Amino acid sequence: MTNLPSSNLPPLPVSSLPTPAVEWDSYLLTHHGHLLQSWAWGELKGRFGWSAVRVRPPGDKAAAQILFRRLPLGLTLAYIPKGPVVDWTDSEQCRTFFAALHAEAKKRRAVLLKFEPNLWSPDFSLDFPHAEAAVNLLTRSGFTPADAIQPRTSLVIDLSGDEAAILAAMKQKTRYNIRLAEKKGVTIRHGGPEDVTIFYQLAQITAVRDSFGVHNLDYYRAAYDLFAPDRCALLLAEFAGRPLAALMAFSFGREAYYFYGASSSEQRNLMAPYLLQWEAIRWAKSQGCTRYDLWGIPDADLVTLEAEFERRHDNLWGVYRFKRGFGGQWVQSIDAFDYVYNPLLYQFYKLVRRR
């Protein structure tokens, strides 16, 4: 999983974006930035308790979207999801840029600044040499390894081949379930804004059945409003006019992401989620994406996952049983890192996080 040359990036849809957003996203796409650093993602989080501050010093080849969350007593939490975008091998540039980020955090009385770099662990030779350089530099710069907010471990499907090659990489049972759903009459359609309510109803069913947390309806509506149609697909699997499953997939440059999924508890024998996921993969490929991130499995090494997935049912283990069949490559990001401005309140923050 290496960085992509900018010349291969697809054109950025600009029809609904203001000029600063176009410039910001264009820079991210050129430098392989993540969707969670995109302008629209900052706007989405801004509707639900966060505020986005975008830092890109003139002339610097660096950028970061910092999300600030208000805390009591006028304090804040500062968070950079899947960022910043910086040349981790240029230590002097990084230190200068870090100083600008610290200034923004201190201006808003942040208790801590959390980095979640968009880099895969050096142990797996995926983002060399940047991952190892980032870990060393952050450690030397006063950051400490910390709990991540976004999933660290995932499965990523290679979309560079044709559909036959993508199917061939899947487990035989998954291919069988896709064909079964088609044979039994499950159909897939692209939803519109009016279908977000259906997605949310299915998400509530999933939350109760599988003990998952979900966002509220307004959040999913906002995500669809900000990203569709260019960067978001809402897909619904139906049988005889009844919705059985739904998902929201996103794209940004050459990357696609499966963020939100839901399914009914009815007629599960029809295997609707398998056909639905296959159609999401096909949509991602049609967008020009070369990788499809299934986004979130248990935070364990591959040997452990394969040894325990059949007997484990807690947390994300059921999710892993489903996702592993689609033939993705196991990947794991480097640690999140925190820079602490207020040690006493930071200990309280960690206590609240654990609870």
pLDDT digits (tens, 9 = 90+) for 179-201: 999 999 999 999 999 999 999 99
Helix (H, G, I), strand (E, B) or coil at 69: strand
In angstroms, the CA 213 to CA 315 distance is 11
Question: Is residue 11's pLDDT more than 60?
Answer: no
Residue 262 main-chain phi, psi, to 5 deg: -155, 155
SS3 content of the chain, % helix, strand, coil (to 5): 45, 25, 35
Question: Is residue 135's pLDDT more than 50?
Answer: yes
In angstroms, the CA 277 to CA 235 distance is 9
Q: Two tokens at 169?
A: 């990489």
**Residue 279 or 6, more confident:** 279
Predicted confidence band at 129 (pLDDT cuts at 50, 70, 90)?
low
**In CATH, what number does 6-150+334-354 get?**
3.40.630.30
**What pLDDT was estimated at residue 2?**
33
**What pLDDT was estimated at residue 127?**
55
The domains of the chain are located at 6-150+334-354, 154-332
- Given CATH 3.40.50.970, say whether it is the number of domain 154-332: no
Report the percentage of the chain scoring pLDDT > 70.
92
Question: Is residue 128's pLDDT more than 80?
Answer: no
Predicted confidence band at 150 (pLDDT cuts at 50, 70, 90)?
very high
Whole-model pTM: value is: 0.91
Region 80-91 average pLDDT: 95
Q: Two tokens at 295?
A: 């986004």
Residue 33's alpha-carbon distances to 2, 65, 113, 180, 265, in angstroms, are: 13, 11, 19, 38, 37
Predicted confidence band at 7 (pLDDT cuts at 50, 70, 90)?
very low
Question: Is residue 96's pLDDT more than 50?
Answer: yes
Q: What is the pLDDT of residues 98-109, one digit of tens each?
A: 999 999 999 999
Question: Is residue 17's pLDDT more than 70?
Answer: no
DSSP 8-state class, residue 140: H
**What pLDDT was estimated at residue 229?**
93
**What pLDDT was estimated at residue 9?**
37
**What pLDDT was estimated at residue 61?**
84
Question: Is residue 293's pLDDT more than 50?
Answer: yes
**Do 6-150+334-354 and 154-332 fold alike per CATH?**
yes
**What pLDDT was estimated at residue 212?**
86
Q: Are 273 and 263 in contact (CB under 8 A)?
A: yes
Question: Is residue 122's pLDDT more than 80?
Answer: no
